[in-house]
Structure 1
Amino acid sequence: MPTKFNNVLGTIGNTPLVRLTRLAPPQVNLFVKIEAFNPMGSVKDRLAIGVIEDAERSGALRPGQTVIEATSGNTGIGLAMVCAVKGYPLVVTMAENFSIERRKMMRFLGARVVLTPAALKGTGMLAKAVELAQAHGWFLCRQFENEANADIHSRTTALEILGAFENDRLDYWVTGCGTGGTLKGVARVLKAQRPETAIVVCEPDNSPTLGSGIVQARRADGSPVDSHPSFRPHLMQGWTPDFIPKLTEDAVALKLIDKIVPVNGADALRCARELARAEGIFTGISGGATLAGALQISAAATTGANIVCMLPDTGERYLTTPLFEGVGVDMTTEELEISRSTPSARFDAPASAAAPIVQQPPAAAEPVASAEVADFVARVIGDAEQPLVMFALEWCEFCWAVRKLFAICRIPYRSVDLDSTAYQRDDRGGQIRAVLRERSGSKTIPQVFVGGEFIGGATETLDAFKDGRLQRLLAQHGVLVDESIHVDPDSLLPGWLHPR
């Protein structure tokens, strides 16, 4: 692969195939295709560039036109990347029950995320996307029906797999099913060029939309009329929406599927966790589910069989889902015991005489503030145009707690970041701190002032907000706070302050 690219879009695809050495039965070769190696961490990066560039070529997408799509998250993240590079505004509709990390990532990339009620399922977020596209003249990607979704997999994913097994047998290809683009696009190429390869599709055992054999009712454009009668809510985000996508139905009609494997949600979680701990490979619930299906195939496969299993994304999309249930942020009992096995740097005991003595360097002399710096501090604190000022440090978590409060409440303020490059020359940051110590009597940072009055540090500022004193002071100086915004200031403090 080349190592230089004109932009990040050139890094999509060419993801690795990795043989599992500990989880797979020894008599077979089980390879996983790790789509997390795509730049935004999922197989849907391929879909995103395929759909957008096809629309550009056909003229369906005009320069500067807004793109919109309904997505469980990964498609939206891929589209956000592509649209950022190409300069298209992006709106995503997404059911509220999908993981929070996904909506944050899309917004971080510049997309706008419109949530729909969980009770309306996938058809609800799809209907909202169609409605918005029609109302505003936006380009709707239609990932579930768009042939460009399947085409990109025929041109890339399928050829990558064939190239890896050019001189070797390929017995099974195992995939999950979301939009149907990966399934249709890869399966039709494998069937044409390697007809001996069995195509295996996994779906949730409690939501067997394909396995039911019941046809999906759909409109002339291929979109679903309503939820499929066999759909039930399940754990595998990105798999099996509450309807059978047109691209998936195409794969069925073309007789591309050799076997459907039902997968239990608990097995999906278990396999994702075991894959991380036994093989060092990080995937999400849908990847764990596909692996669970591939392990079922492996158990019955003949000796020497080569099996390829798709892992569609990274586990980082699932931090707030059941996949990470029981994975805490605080130390476990075992970890506490490890900490207690040596005397230093412990939370449960004061510094011990038995702890090793570390020679501390002599304290640096406190800088002496110049008259110019003292005058600067006085002018900043007394600035009637910007009565709220915070003297802060860029890296400090307590400073960020105050910043978050001001941002949530849309309160204008000035921040003087003492560790920034602007205040490094001649140790201006240190000189300012010396002036602040003299003025407020406090050595800590941040220090917050309103109209020249010292409020305090982070906790004092948050307390002043809770009891309304901060709002009253701001109002006296012409700064009004929106009373309709409700926030628990204590929730903004660093998480490690919470009791263990």
Structure 2
Amino acid sequence: MDRKYTDITKTIGRTPVVKLSRLAPAGVDIFAKIEAFNPMGSVKDRFALAAVEDAERRGLLKPGQTVVEATSGNTGISLAMVCAQRGYPFVAVMAENFSIERRKLMRFLGAKVVLTPAAERGSGMLAKAQELAKTHGWFLTRQFDNEANAEMHARTTAQEILADFDGERLDFWITGYGTGGTLKGVARILRQARPETKIVVAEPDNSPLLGSGIRSKRHSDGAEAGAHPAFRPHLMQGWTPDFISRLVEDSVDLGLIDEIVGVAGNDALAAARDLAGKEGILAGITAGATLAAARALAERAPKGSRILCMLPDTGERYLSTPLFADVPVEMTAEELSISRSTPLARFDGTHSSPKVPTASPEVLPVSPEAAAFVAEVTSDPENAVVMFALEWCEFCWSVRKMFAHHQIPFRSVDLDSVAYQKDDWGGKIRVALSATTHQRTIPQIFIAGRHIGGCTDLFDAWKAGTVQRELADAGITCGGDGASDPYSFLPGWLHKRG
């Protein structure tokens, strides 16, 4: 099989179906279609590509035009990927309560992220996206009512399922609904090609929009008109906004849904953890919720039943959510016991690490050229703030973050970088620097020729106000939040131990 692709979007789809070996009751088979195998880790890659390609084909999206969408995160990440590959600016509109890592992923892919108040929920972020599109002439992908969404799933996801179960039983297919693209696209094809397969839709038990039997209110143009009366906040990000999308309503009107199952948030979390701990499948809360619905169905399904459930995304999207809330960062008591079972590399002060002889910089000869370099750099009027550093040292990066936050211009002499490696030039500079400051630590910071010290010396001097005065005397104005604790720029593990 040819595994070379002309661009990243060609890798979307063809996700695997995996039989769960430890999570199904005896006599019933549960299979999972793992959409995390898409390049951006979720089922939304399919819609993102479909929306852009459809708009290009119909002349709705012009070269260089900005794309905008309201998203809980996954659609935004996928659109950021497709837009990056195609050269379109992308703006995501997302309620502030969705996971932080989703914002970072979108921004890392070049997108802009506009947050909306959590109290305004999904309808608030959708209204904001519509307003931005209308005001600026941006292209709104309309994931909740874009027929290209469902068509993509009919053309790809459904066909993959049919091929994977060709000649085999498939008694139940279970999915959440969210935008309704997966539901409408796949269910329509399964209803035609596999009428014996029951379509089961899962939703939060405390927010039963479909289960209530109440349709969403709409304006005369079909747009959603405020929150659905049955909506309540829930854990399943992306599963149900506070309205029923047109694509979901289409599925209801077409009679594509055989059963609706409510899933408790705690059951979703437990199932996602079981997927990871018992099957080795890293999936998100919505995947756990879908599996929880499949397991509940399996308990009452006839023996020999075969169930396929959709796992929409990867668990890495949920690091800042309750899914990972109980996962410790520091060693547990059991892990400490394992650490203490052998003598090396321990934190309890009783370790016995092998001694490696090292040369002290003070006893090495100082190169006159290196000493002249240090003197020249630290007295350079064009670069009042100088840091002698290592490229990837955590302390050096903490200083860089502090300088960036306060908009302090500086020169970094990275002694271990390629530029200073020839003839051990960086090492010679470090010896000369140590002879000048009588300190061996890195980084070493200077302001207008005055030696401030290392990372924590800088932080302490900042807290005392000394650094600010030195910078002012050098004609440098600080920006950012002057009240910020400089120690907050350290990585968590350094901050704790510092």
SS of the residue aligned with 1:98? Answer: coil
The amino acid of 2:283's aligned partner reads T
1:12 aligns with 12
SS of the residue aligned with 2:334? Answer: helix
Aligned partner of 1:436 among 408, 414, 433: 433
Please tell me whether the aligned partners of residues 367 and 431 of structure 1 are also in contact (alpha carbons under 8 angstroms).
no
> TM (normalized to structure 1)?
0.96
1:448 aligns with 445
Shift of the 454–204 alpha-carbon distance from structure 1 to 2, 3 Å rule, reads same
2:422 aligns with 425
1:229 aligns with 229
Aligned partner of 2:476 among 467, 470, 479: 479
Residues 209-266 of structure 1: CA deviation (Å, up to 9, x unaligned): 0000001111344331100000000011111100001111111111111110000000
1:489 aligns with 486
2:392 aligns with 395
Shift of the 307–479 alpha-carbon distance from structure 1 to 2, 3 Å rule, reads same
Please tell me whether the aligned partners of residues 366 and 435 of structure 2 are also in contact (alpha carbons under 8 angstroms).
no
Please tell me whether the aligned partners of residues 407 and 480 of structure 2 are also in contact (alpha carbons under 8 angstroms).
no
Residues paired across the two proteins, number: 496
Please tell me whether the aligned partners of residues 405 and 480 of structure 2 are also in contact (alpha carbons under 8 angstroms).
no
Q: Percentage identity across aligned positions?
A: 63
- Following the alignment from structure 1 to structure 2, what is the Cα–Cα distance between the partners of residues 345 and 3? 43
SS of the residue aligned with 1:302? Answer: coil
SS of the residue aligned with 2:60? Answer: coil
SS of the residue aligned with 2:327? Answer: coil
2:106 aligns with 106
Residues 314-362 of structure 1: CA deviation (Å, up to 9, x unaligned): 11111111111111110111111222222222111233xxx4x746356
Is 1:360 the equivalent of 2:351? no
Shift of the 369–134 alpha-carbon distance from structure 1 to 2, 3 Å rule, reads farther
2:326 aligns with 326
How far apart are residue 461 of structure 1 and its match? 1.2
Deviates more, 1:369-378 or 1:444-453: 369-378
How far apart are residue 171 of structure 1 and its match? 0.9
How far apart are residue 486 of structure 1 and its match? 4.3
- Following the alignment from structure 1 to structure 2, what is the Cα–Cα distance between the partners of residues 240 and 338? 44
Q: Map of 1:126-205 to 2, 5 A cutoff?
A: 126-205=126-205
SS of the residue aligned with 1:30? Answer: strand
SS of the residue aligned with 1:400? Answer: helix
SS of the residue aligned with 1:129? Answer: helix
1:61 aligns with 61
SS of the residue aligned with 2:240? Answer: coil
Is 1:463 the equivalent of 2:480? no
How far apart are residue 145 of structure 1 and its match? 0.8
- Following the alignment from structure 2 to structure 1, what is the Cα–Cα distance between the partners of residues 44 and 222? 20
Please tell me whether the aligned partners of residues 367 and 430 of structure 1 are also in contact (alpha carbons under 8 angstroms).
no
Structure 2 gaps of 5+ residues are none
Aligned partner of 2:409 among 409, 412, 427: 412
SS of the residue aligned with 1:373? Answer: helix
- Following the alignment from structure 1 to structure 2, what is the Cα–Cα distance between the partners of residues 488 and 481? 15
The amino acid of 1:464's aligned partner reads A
- Following the alignment from structure 2 to structure 1, what is the Cα–Cα distance between the partners of residues 161 and 217? 34
Shift of the 443–376 alpha-carbon distance from structure 1 to 2, 3 Å rule, reads same
The amino acid of 2:410's aligned partner reads Y
- Following the alignment from structure 1 to structure 2, what is the Cα–Cα distance between the partners of residues 194 and 96? 41
SS of the residue aligned with 2:202? Answer: strand
Q: Map of 1:229-268 to 2, 5 A cutoff?
A: 229-268=229-268
Shift of the 157–214 alpha-carbon distance from structure 1 to 2, 3 Å rule, reads same
SS of the residue aligned with 1:31? Answer: strand
Q: CA RMSD in A?
A: 1.7
The amino acid of 1:377's aligned partner reads V
How far apart are residue 367 of structure 1 and its match? 6.1
Is 1:24 the equivalent of 2:24? yes
Please tell me whether the aligned partners of residues 145 and 222 of structure 1 are also in contact (alpha carbons under 8 angstroms).
no
The amino acid of 1:439's aligned partner reads T
Please tell me whether the aligned partners of residues 406 and 481 of structure 2 are also in contact (alpha carbons under 8 angstroms).
no
- Following the alignment from structure 1 to structure 2, what is the Cα–Cα distance between the partners of residues 272 and 363? 52
How far apart are residue 268 of structure 1 and its match? 0.3
How far apart are residue 372 of structure 1 and its match? 3.3
The amino acid of 2:125's aligned partner reads M
- Following the alignment from structure 1 to structure 2, what is the Cα–Cα distance between the partners of residues 84 and 392? 34
Please tell me whether the aligned partners of residues 66 and 90 of structure 2 are also in contact (alpha carbons under 8 angstroms).
yes
The amino acid of 1:201's aligned partner reads V
- Following the alignment from structure 2 to structure 1, what is the Cα–Cα distance between the partners of residues 43 and 366? 57
- Following the alignment from structure 2 to structure 1, what is the Cα–Cα distance between the partners of residues 355 and 336? 27
Shift of the 326–379 alpha-carbon distance from structure 1 to 2, 3 Å rule, reads same
1:308 aligns with 308
Structure 1 gaps of 5+ residues are none
Please tell me whether the aligned partners of residues 145 and 223 of structure 1 are also in contact (alpha carbons under 8 angstroms).
no
Is 1:216 the equivalent of 2:225? no
SS of the residue aligned with 1:307? Answer: strand
> TM (normalized to structure 2)?
0.96
- Following the alignment from structure 1 to structure 2, what is the Cα–Cα distance between the partners of residues 422 and 180? 54
Residues 452-487 of structure 1: CA deviation (Å, up to 9, x unaligned): 111111111122222222122112112100265542
Shift of the 483–208 alpha-carbon distance from structure 1 to 2, 3 Å rule, reads closer
1:373 aligns with 370
